[in-house]
Amino acid sequence: MADELKGHLEDDLEAGSGRGRGDYSRDDEQGSGPFDVFRTKSAPADRLRRWRQAALVLNASRRFRYTLDLKKEEEKKQLIAKIRMHAQVIRAAVLFQAAGLGKKVQVTSKVPSSPTRIGDFGISAEEMVAISRNHDLSLLQHIGGVKGAVEKLKSNPEKGLSNDETDLVSRKKAFGSNTYPRKKGRSFWRFVWEACRDTTLIILMVAAAASLALGIKTEGITEGWYDGGSIALAVLIVIIFTAVSDYKQSLQFQNLNEEKQNIQMEVIRGGQRIKVSIFEMVVGDVVPLKIGDQVPADGLVITGHSLAIDESSMTGESKIAHKDPIRAPFLMSGCKVADGYGTMLVTSVGINTEWGLLMASISEDNGEETPLQVRLNGVATFIGIVGLSVAIVVLLVLLIRYFKGQTKDPDGHAEFTAGKTSVGDAINGFVKMFTVAVTIVVVAVPEGLPLAVTLTLAYSMRKMMADKALVRRLSACETMGSATTICSDKTGTLTLNQMTVVEAHACGKKIDAPDNKSLFPPRVISFLVEGIAQNTTGSVFVPEGGGALEVSGSPTEKAILQWGVNLGMDFSAARSDSVIIRTCPFNSEKKRGGVALKLSDSEVHVHWKGAAEILLESCSSYIDANDCEIQMDEDKMSHFKKAIDNMAARSLRCVAITYRLFEVEKVPTSDEELENWQLPEGDLILLAIVGIKDPCRPKVRDAVQLCSNAGVKVRMVTGDNLQTAIAIALECGILGSNKDVSEPNIIEGKDFRNLTETQRLEMADKISVMGRSSPNDKLLLVQALRKRGHVVAVTGDGTNDAPALHEADIGLAMGIQGTEVAKESSDIIILDDNFASVVKVVRWGRSVYANIQKFIQFQLTVNVAALTINVVAAISSGNVPLNAVQLLWVNLIMDTLGALALATEAPTDHLMHMKPVGRREPLITNIMWRNLLIQALYQVTVLLVLNFRGRSILNLDHETKDRAFKLKNTLIFNAFVLCQIFNEFNARKPDEMNVWKGLTKNHLFMGIIALEVVLQVIIIFFLQKFASTVRLSLELWLVSIGIGFVSWPLAILGKLIPVPDKHFLEYFKKKSDQQRTPSGG
């Protein structure tokens, strides 16, 4: 078992995983461009570096804030290597010490010279750290071994600590808490500083300073400060808005990171197993350990049965270390249990452990980019290059026209006349034109576009927590929207995980009332009680003051333990009647778990428990109603097989309980031989076969149907009997009817495993139910489905599920039943183990993608319209209707406020009636192109007509030229902003007629729209000099609103225009391919 896990348990961050990298090329082969990174999970560093170098970036510190910091990642690896080296040195010393254990160990005087003891404990924190951190066996023996450590820490090996708050507080005071110092999050002022580092904003500030100086010099301080001061103030407002938005976003991520690190673990307090946060564990706590658990602190093994620890997270080596209380009692925090089970005593916590030092050093979150983020950087780069080119053209045209004397003021006089215009005025004119060109770049380069992904992800992740899903990897949140298939476990995910024994077959017949002790012969009861009590990782707690018994363990263990209690089992007495000499923990490959017991009369009993039809094959006899052992003939074998099939057909989980006697003389005597002893698996005596009922979760059928409607195929992959799996699949709707109960829809794991790779690829698509599957079968299925082009989501809870969870595009670990190994290999943790929550994750994943598309459509419309209006106006008249301050306000609406409004839309049912979004499909769909071009064309046409014919259309002939010019430009600015506000509604539903549906539920959207309207009114009415505007009459306000309002009916009419399914860019690709083919051939 432990050997199988060597490669599987290295996938956590610190262990440094190589898994998945070999498959990366398969995901990336179709993407030759720097931004074609379709899977960031396990992506090579050079691939990530490539897109960063290709991106056009104005503010690197802001743009790359939520991407993987490649430099820090390298530093982190070096730091981990140093700490691992220390751990390896300790390990080498321990091995050297262990080699010399043949001789009596001489106690050395390594005890700290003057230990500071706090409280009435028999040992100080320094002494405890010296023992555990250096793995010093001689010091441990000096204090009386593990037993002595338990006594000095005033704990109890069976009952643990009392759950007394005063005692727990005193332990934290004496030995420290199980936390480590975390680096403080960035302050608000750090975000302000980063927002200031935008290249274009810096240039604008310099230009504003120059304009301010020239204005004051030429016009005096009273009038001269307006031009430069208004630009500086506009830039300052943009910086503050940006910083506030980014700061709030970072706080959300900070909270989510703390939630991810808050592992819940079992401890024994007052004899009872209770779950506490890993941060609440204290020195002296007794912690039960089982396969897949993380060691929560440094400690000592109290009891261990085949206990094997994977120390790769600390040593970097995948070698499994076997632990026992005598020769190898030391456990290192952060390591994983690879095999067996046992209990440990916590001896050092927090910063006093090697793991605590490591986490304190690397606790700052290092970021992680998502495929959508990378693609949006590509889109932003393309738009930015176009915008930069446009800005240069505008600047050149404005300069040429200005210095040629073709630029006129509102009265029709040339603004520049050679030999007459002063140098100061000429420079001021140049600064104004340069400022407009730079502002065009600010608007054109959508710096906020890639950051909109993190905004919508931060919002979605917070909301998903309420929907019982904890996102560990950002990319998984969006990838889930592309999922085409979900490979789900059965137990606990599709079912309730509330198991009870409802049927039993023993003594060669069905027992009518399985809880009735009198229906079983005494010998069978004795063996059943012995096997149930000892062959388990669960426990039964008897409250001291009386009351109901508390049964703990996995759901299957709890069901069988409860059945044992119903049959009269006294758990503590049964466990004290025999001693465990060897265990074989439940193995998902063999589907069984066993234990060898030595009784007081020196008899040795071997008990097995596991999959009924598999264990039945190993049985050679059974005990009848007269308590006699009877040979298993063919009739009885077929009787039991039929009973298993009948129970399985009724969706019962079938578990066999068996035992056998073993010759004492054949039991190994040395510890080394005992460690390698394989428990005998043949000649077993059947005691009972029980049927355990685990009801389907309510509404799981609706959830499966919802997936089917959304184009996501649900497949059940379970270790249970195939007949049980079929019964549950029919109940859940995974199989439509009995007609579907045939190959290739249903298959056993071993049959799938035995197929060739080509056959597996052909078969994978058709499989709906896989029964009796091993974790390796699940991995093979995931690999086959991914090769078929599927985006695969996989649920898993066991340690052996780690490879499949890692290989899948989205690994979903179970929060309640999942082991820490499974959780660390996963991308999302389903906190309530419910399949309905998995479906909610799909909705949120689609919502992330849809929200980004809404934002892109909105932003591109503003880009196209603003750039076209200014370019055409600049070339034709030498003046631009939208000045620098106005463009900065438009940029604020478009970037920060637009992202907040559109990137935080909640998912709708409409999303679950669409096909999954292909990861290689263009971000800007034909529908989006249609919508944005219609709106941009309308805005450009109307506003350019106003620019060139506004005076006559608006009947402003009676006004002075200067007043008419300002009124016209103010109207253009007002109408343009209102067009964007009205179009923000259109962007909510790119492919639906009713854009107002669900509007009242989105309070943030309504609030932002209200804020934009209020600020626009303030700019027009009260900030005329700041924004170069004048007050508009009621008639002109109605004209502005009318122009904006037309975008609503226009959007509805536009949606009646059909668009082809084939993306229009593919037509250009075909043409270019056709042109290249002859020359290439």
What CA–CA distance (Å, rounded) separates 1008 from 120?
60
| C-alpha distances in Å from residue 720, one per residue of 153, 740, 838, 892, 982 | 44, 19, 21, 57, 56
Among candidate residues 198, 489, 720, 833, the one labeled active-site is 489
What CA–CA distance (Å, rounded) separates 771 from 780?
14
Q: Pull the structure tokens for residue 564.
A: 């044992």
Per the CB < 8 A criterion, the answer to whether 924 and 987 are in contact is no
DSSP letter string, 388-433: HHHHHHHHHHHHHHHHTT--B-TTS-BS--TTTS-HHHHHHHHHHH
DSSP-derived secondary structure letter, 803: H
Strand 769-771 versus strand 713-717 pairing type: parallel
Per the CB < 8 A criterion, the answer to whether 345 and 150 are in contact is yes
What CA–CA distance (Å, rounded) separates 1050 from 939?
11
DSSP-derived secondary structure letter, 924: S
Instruction: Give catalytic status of residue 962 as yes or no.
Output: no
What CA–CA distance (Å, rounded) separates 874 from 139?
84
Strand runs (DSSP E) across 294-387, as ranges? Answer: 298-310, 320-322, 330-331, 336-348
| C-alpha distances in Å from residue 1005, one per residue of 955, 980, 1008 | 37, 14, 5
| C-alpha distances in Å from residue 118, one per residue of 133, 145, 357 | 20, 22, 23
DSSP H stretches of helix in 330-370? 354-362
What CA–CA distance (Å, rounded) separates 524 from 621?
13
DSSP-derived secondary structure letter, 324: B
Q: Is the peptide bond before 446 cis (omega within 30 degrees of 0)?
A: no
Positive or negative, the CA dihedral 845, 848, 854, 860 is: negative
DSSP-derived secondary structure letter, 918: P
* Residues paired with 792 in a beta bridge: 485
Per the CB < 8 A criterion, the answer to whether 584 and 595 are in contact is yes
Q: In the Cβ-directed half-sphere of 80, how many Cα atoms lie within 13 Å?
A: 21
Q: Is 597 helix (H, G, I), strand (E, B) or coil?
A: strand
The candidate with the shortest Cα–Cα distance to 610, out of 720, 500, 511, is: 720
Helix %, strand %, coil % of the chain (to 5): 55, 15, 30
What CA–CA distance (Å, rounded) separates 1009 from 987?
13
Per the CB < 8 A criterion, the answer to whether 263 and 252 are in contact is no
Neighbours of 599 (CB within 10 A): 12
Per the CB < 8 A criterion, the answer to whether 607 and 594 are in contact is yes
Element (H, E) at 171: helix 165-175
Q: Pull the structure tokens for residue 461.
A: 């992740």
Q: Is 78 helix (H, G, I), strand (E, B) or coil?
A: helix
What CA–CA distance (Å, rounded) separates 412 from 407?
9
Per the CB < 8 A criterion, the answer to whether 967 and 849 are in contact is no
Q: List phi, psi (to 5°) of 650.
A: -100, 20
Element (H, E) at 89: helix 70-99
Per the CB < 8 A criterion, the answer to whether 564 and 549 are in contact is no
Q: Is 450 helix (H, G, I), strand (E, B) or coil?
A: helix
DSSP H stretches of helix in 826-925? 835-877, 884-892, 898-902
Catalytic residues: 489
